[in-house]
Amino acid sequence: MEIVVQDYFTRMFSNPKESNMGRLEDADVVIEERVCEKEGRDQLSLYIRMDSKRVKEIRFMCAYCDPYMFVAADILSRLFKEKELREIERIGEKEFYRALGGKSKEALEHFNKAKEIFLQRVSE
């Protein structure tokens, strides 16, 4: 695992109140999906409060997730908050790596898959 992912993951669990982990009880949209197709793990739950086409609040939970998915989900929740769907569609590699603080191909793959699921389900 890349050191940048390991560092981000460690910070998340060192300061759990600063992460976006946890349920959002009054969510408008709940997405529960298996993200990792390789091993059938990474069961991601996203809890989203929407205001028209804008994400007002977003939190996540992971079951059986590897550190890459935890990190990708936390970054996703930070990058998507207070954004309209058309803005979220444009979030890519550059923004992800900036939020991560370095590069990780595997973390980016997890992020992109979660983003794809998010956009599909929120647009339904």
CATH of the domain at 28: 3.90.1010.10
pLDDT for 101-112, tens place per residue? 999 999 999 999
Structurally, the chain folds into a number of domains equal to 1
Give the predicted TM-score (pTM) of the model.
Answer: 0.94
- 21, 30, 63 from 107: Cα distances, Å: 17, 22, 17
Range(s) of the domain holding residue 10: 3-122
User: What number of residues does the chain have?
Assistant: 124
- Mean pLDDT for the chain overall: 94
Mean pLDDT of 7-32: 94
